[in-house]
Structure formats: C-alpha cells, structure tokens
Structure 1
Amino acid sequence: MTFTKPVLISGGGIASLLLASTLRRSNIPFIVYERDASPIFRAQGYRLRLSNEGLDAIEKALPPEKWETFWATCGKTGGSGLVTIDPLTGETLSQGPDAASRPNTGPREVLSSRDGKVVGISRGDMRKVFMEGIEDSIRWGHHVRSYELTADGVRAIFADGSESEDGCLLVGGEGIYSYVAKQLSGGKLKVYDLGSRGIHGQAPTAAFKGLGEGVFRLVDEKTVPGHKIFLITNVRPQDMDDPNVQFGWTMGGSPGVVKAPNNNYTLIGKPAADIAKSLTENWHPRFKPLFEQMNESEAAFWKITCSSPDGVPEWTNEPRVTVIGDAVHSMTPAGGIGANTAVRDSELLGRLLAEAGEFRDGITEAYEKEMRVYASEAVKTSFNQSVGAFGTNIDLNATIEPRDV
C-alpha cells in the first residue's frame, strides 16, 4: 500500500470501527476520532439482529481470526419466526409482520440468517470485538465539528478549535448528529424525529424463563387508549443457565406514550427504569420478572428517527470526504435493518480503498453510487415497517440538527 496519509474517521460506532478494522487488515493507516471520553462512557443500546447481508459484510471485512472471535460472541437463537404475544393476557397471538392484528394465518416473518438460527449481538459486544487490535489508533475525547480541505488532503476540526493532522480522506461515521454529513451534503442529508420513544433494559437470564427460546414481540394496545406499547426480546437457550449473562429487551410506544422527565432523553438509569415499570404494571405475571429484576443502572431512553424515506439524496461528490452508517442513512428499529446496512458501508468503502492501493479520486464517488442503491431501499423498507408496527409518521419540520451531546 502507498497511502502516505491516514484515513481520518469521525466517530467510534460500529460502522467506524469495522471500517478501521478493515483498513488495519489492508495495512492502510487510519485514525479514529471519538467524542466520548472512553468506550464505556455511554449506554451501548439494544441487541442487534444480523441478516445474511450484514454477516457477509462483517466476515469479508474482518481478518479471519477476528471474524472467528466475532462469530463466537454472537448469540444463536433457534426458530425463524417472530412470536407475537398479548402481554396483558399472556396469550400467544401469531407470527409474521402484522401478527398483532391478524389471526394465525399467513406467512411467517423469517428472522434466521445462518444455520437456521437468529443471529444477534449486543452493540457493546460488537464494538468491543471490532475495537480489538486497533486501540492504538483511536483518539478519545475528540469531537469533530467540521472539516477543511488542504492542498492535497483534508483535516478534521474539533469542537475546541484544534485540528487533526492531514489525512487523505475523512469518513463521517458519527451517527445522526453528524456535522460532517451536514457540511458535505450542504444540508441535503436530513434526519427526522418520528415522535416515538422507547426504553432499553436488561435483566438476568432467570427473568426470561417464562418465555422460552425465541424472538418475542409483545404488543399492548389497551394500557394507553389509542396508542401502542411494544416490547421485543431475544431468548437464547445456550445462555439461559448462566447467572453472569443478562438478556436485553427494548420497549417503545407510539408518539406520546414514553415521556422522559423534562423531555431529557439523555437520562439513563432509574428514571427510565421507573417509566418502564409504570407502563407494564398491569402486564401478565409471565412478563413481570423482566421489569422487577431489571438492572436499573442500564436502562436508557431512545428515540425513533429516520432519514428521508425518499432515499439517500445526491450531493456534489467531494473526493476526500464521505459518510457511512447512520450519518448518511438513519433508520427506525423496524426490521433490524439499520446496523446491517451500516456494516455494508464499511465493507464496501474499505474494499474500494484496498483495491485502489492508494488514495485516488473516484473512490468516494464509486462508494456513494453503490451505497445509494441498497441504502435507499433499506431506508424505505424501515420507514414503512415502522409506520405499521409503531404508529410513527414523518413531520418534515421535525428535523434533528447536529449537536455536541
């Protein structure tokens, strides 16, 4: 490789860290700039379900030994259908994308990806595996606010006004609050707040014994009249009897159901745990342990956001700057599509850089052209599924702007 300047990566999420792992495998120099002070600074979020496309991208991107570690870390759950349950009665309803509103007929929603199993991993575990072996190239406490092009490179500009060293390329991977995405696209890349809010929680495996093995969706349409409360969780038998393991769940509600104190959705811990317990106090005893035994310190709020369902817009290509993951295509949690699309970005961009052998004009243009096709389809699918599952809708005035927290 003849890269004389490093690839600069803004953000230390899963897409950025996978890209960094890919670059290390190809001996391409890079630096990751992450705004958090350390890898344990914030809650890591819910469990991610990996599709065939996502797994294929990760396997191609990682060195073989790192892939083996990643695969061993993933949980594998039997069954290929999403079981929908009425949490008030404990009754199993159906399987399929609209199982909460129809009888036990119709096709099943297939969730399995490899070996007939539903493959999943927590966001925190994924970050940990991707981070292994590249720690020396991560700079914590560096929040990228903008960038400037130089005579033959690019520099990131941080929130304190300081600048990075010269890089050959800047990749914005800092999520929905990306300053790089806004500057690069001239404001064309927008993220919309769909109004729905939720809570992530964790509890010891013993709390899940009443569910059995599988992927479960609980849908409550009675506790808050005119609104939905839903919960999704994944129970893996191989971990069920390990007291050191916790399973996660994520709950949410249609707009107006989950309300954080003072509208502060950065709160973690007891405030989120108390709201989750309050909303589920009338649920069937089969599900009570998920909340009674929850690890309150790990509870965290989340909000449903989405890029424009019209697809990824076009902007004037800048050869030395591009974007990956949520920074370019934020998605709802419906269908588990977002993370799988993000890792495809990382594999594609990393492969194009490795094939070029050096930085050259045309790499980011080729990446963006291919990414727009699969990412636009994914955003549309995610948005449409969210409308049906969560009761969300889009307000073109409710855009999310880059911010410093």
Structure 2
Amino acid sequence: MFDCTSSERECLPVIIIGAGISGLLLAQELRKTNTPFRVFERDKDFLTRGAGWGLTLHWSLPALRELLPTDLHAQLRDTYVDRAAVERGETSTFPFFDLSTGERKGASPKLSEEARIRVTRERFRKLLATGIDIEWGKVFKESHDTSESVAAVFEDGSTHQGRLIVGCDGGHSRVRRALLHQRYNNHPIPVRLLGFTLAVKAEQAGPIRALDPFFLQGTASVSNVFMYISLLEAPQTPDCNSAYVYQVCISWNTTKPPCDIPARSNSASAQQERIAIIREVSKQWAEPFKTFVQLIPDTTNVQQLDISDFPPSAGVDAAGRVLLVGDACHAMSMYRGEGANHAIVDVLELKERVLPHLHRDKTLTAAVRKFEEGVIERTRPAVLASRKACLDAHDWHNLTPDSPLLTRRQMHLKFDG
C-alpha cells in the first residue's frame, strides 16, 4: 500500500513533524541543499501557544552558525530580547539570590555575544520559518515503515510518504508515542510552576535591571520557593515609551507546597487563585523581588505547568526510517536552560550522520541508529542533570555550589543521576 517506485523514491521528502526550533532548523538545512521536505505542525498558527520563553543559546552557537543560511544569520540579532543592550556591550551573569534575604549567592562569568546570546523563542522561531511552507493543523497519528520509504498518517485521515520521518514535536511527542509504544511517557518531577508575563515601566524595571539586564534567579531560603525573572522585550531607544516585558516564573516542590495548590483548569476563579498564590508567596521576599512580583495585575493570565522530563534510554532502536530530535527525544526541565542548545546540536549531528545516507537504502537504518546512540549518550546525562537542578532549586539547605543548578553549562556532562 505504501510502496513506491525507484524514481519516485528519489523525490520523496524528509517529513518533519513539528515546526519548533529543531524542525525549522532542519528544514533550513534541507532547503540549503535542495533536499525535498515537508513540515507538518499540529498547531493552527504561530500564535496558538502564545509568545513562549526566552532562550539562552551558548555552547550550541557554533552549530547554529553552521546550520543557519547566511541571510538568516545576518538577522539573528533581530531575535535578541534586547538588541540595543547587546550593542551597548551589556551582558548577563545569570545571578542567583536568596529571595528571603536578597543576598547574591552566585553568578556565571560574563561572556561575549559570540559565546552567549539571549533570544525570544517566538522571534527566533519566526526567523527560522523564513521561506518554509508549514502545513498547519496536522496532527500526527502513526507511521508505516518499509525498507524503501515511510508513510506518516495524520488524524485527519491523510497519508504522506517520505524518505524519513523526523519527530520534532516537543516534550509530549506523538511521534515518540507511536515509536516507543509503552515507553513514551514523561517522568513526572514533583514541581509545579506558575508563569506569567509582566509589562512594566522603566522605573519599575530599574531595580531588577540593576541586578542583571537580562535574567536572574533565586530560591527563598525560608520557603524553598524558586523564581526566575527573564527579560523578553525592552525599548530599543532611550526616548521610547514602550514597556519592559518580563517573563516571571515561580515554582515549588509539590510534596511540600507553600500554600494551597491551584486547580488545573483555566477558569477565572483558578486564575485568581494563582495570582493570589503568587502574591502570598512573594510578599515574604526581600527587595527588589517582592515589589516587582507584587506588580502582577488582577487580569494576568497565569499559566500552570507540572514539570516532567524524558531521559532517552540506551538500546532503544529506531523504527527504521523514524527518529526523534529535540524535546521529542530528550525533554528536560528548564532549570539548566540547555534544551534548545541540545536540539540545535541534534540537527547538526543529523546533518552529519544521517543526511548523507538519505538515498542509500542499505546504510540509512544503520546511520539512524548511530545517530540515536550519539544523541542518547550526549543528552541522557543532561536530562538527569536538569532534573537534579530542578529538585535542588527547591531545596535551599541542601543546595551546594556543585549543584547542576549552579555549575557550568556544557554540551557533554559526566552525570548519571
């Protein structure tokens, strides 16, 4: 039913499931080499999930520069959370504070723009989508693999054939579910996060910007509640009246909650409950954290997230022509800020290890397996280190300078949990 002739196989596309960072970056690589591809995304458009996160890109930057087409690399600064600040030479040290006392407990070294940048996921994703035809509203269901091709089946009943299916569909990947059957579930971490965006005037942002122009984090020694404040957008001219837009996230270990846990619904009452929790928790903090977080308006949309991860396991073979990339393969908590970096390197390794074999039926499956083994070896320690960082972030009295929460971010870790 899914077979095709030899001449047809030469024209079969790489099927990319998911128009996130890894999926779009892969599409750009294929576009550069005139390799046929199709990108399918379950969302209806870019706005379905909101503005998203701020991202720190560091050790993946050499890989990103190799993968990005020249014209897109020239536009990379347009994705920065504060391009003007970077051009003024401002850098982040990602300081860590005791929220209860206001004391700074740690920071990372200052790095140049060549070594570390801070981007908004929304703008970065739209940059990567330049020239890419995304087929929206396509929900992956299953695949059918043969020795010569593979078919992706979608919930709308459509079927599309390709040379390869690359699952880039996030931490709750449907491709992973179809590929791994009973072993696809994420590992729950007993941490709940409340996140929201906050637009403030320059004078309100001033005390936070004095601590760091881009990002800061901390744990309250009294309650073990963790918080980070991440700049998403800043005025780009001195006389601009635009607001500073921040992402604020507050989280705690659910086995020792600081207050009543809000319901999972997004009803108006649940939203008010979440806002009340944020205000109650933050009123115990030192300045400037207390006053800043207390600025949260009554109409704020607060998102709730129960943290989980997915450490890939050695010995999980690819289903022939189906493989996983990015969060679909190695979903990790955000407490080390490395997920996007690993996803970018995944794409570079896919380019180097798999794409040269795309039209070689005899070697493609082995190339996919070798790619998977390399990704697992690199990312499983990273997932477990991020899990430990997440748990340490909510355990002040056992938090040490050697915690993965505070140690150097790097591509290869020796960490087995």
**Shorter-normalised TM range:** 0.7 to 0.9
Cα 1:245–1:232, aligned 2, differ >3 Å: closer, same or farther?
A: closer
- Shift in CA distance, 264/146, structure 1 to aligned 2, threshold 3 Å: farther
Aligned to 1:292: 295
Cross-structure match for 2:34: 27
1:125 to 114, 123, 130: 123
- Kept after mapping to 2: 8 A contact 1:171/1:321: yes
Aligned match for 1:301, one of 294, 299, 304: 304
2:371 aligned residue: 367
Which of the numbers 381, 384, 401 marks the counterpart of 1:380?
A: 384
Deviation sequence 1:170-201 (CA, Å, 0-9, x none):
11111222222133234334421102111222
Match of 2:150 in 1: 154
TM-score (norm 2): 0.77
CA distance in 2, matches of 1:377, 1:176: 17
Q: CA-atom RMSD, angstroms?
A: 3.2
Q: Secondary structure at the match of 2:175?
A: helix
TM-score, length-scaled by structure 1: 0.79
The CA distance in 1 between the partners of 2:259 and 2:112, in whole Å, is 32
SS in 1 for 2:393: helix
* TM-aligned CA deviation for residue 390 of structure 1: 3.1
Amino acid at match of 1:130: L
Equivalent residue letter for 2:340: A
SS at match of 2:320: coil
Contact 1:197 1:258 in 2 (8 A): no
Highest RCO, 1 vs 2 (Cα 8 Å, sep ≥ 6): 1
How many pairs were matched up?
368
Contact 2:225-2:250 within 8 A present in 1 as well: no
Equivalent pair of 1:148/1:154 in contact (CA under 8 Å): yes
1:389 alignment partner in structure 2: 393
Unaligned runs of 5+ in 2: 1-8, 397-417
Kindly state the Cα deviation for residue 322 of structure 1 after the two structures are TM-superposed: 0.3
Whole-Å Cα distance in 1 between the matches of residues 321 and 35 of structure 2?
15
Distance in 1, Cα, partners of 2:298 & 2:349: 38
Counterpart amino acid of 2:380? Answer: S
Identity of aligned residues (%): 22
Matched, 1:231 2:228: yes
Contact 1:197 1:259 in 2 (8 A): no
Partner of 2:12: 5
- Equivalent AA in structure 2 for residue 55 of structure 1: L
Alignment check: 8 A CA contact 1:145 1:179 kept: yes
Q: Secondary structure at the match of 1:303?
A: strand
Residue 55, structure 1, aligned to residue 61, structure 2: yes
- Pairwise CA distance, 1:269: 6.9
What residue number does 2:192 align with? 197
- Quick one: which amino acid aligns to residue 34 of structure 2? N
1:316 aligned counterpart, secondary structure: coil
Q: Which moved more, 1:265-274 or 1:282-291?
A: 265-274
CA distances 1:61-111 after superposition (whole Å, capped 9, x unpaired): 11011112124422448456332334344x332215xxxxxxxxxxxx347
Task: Name the SS of the counterpart of 1:157 in structure 2.
Answer: strand
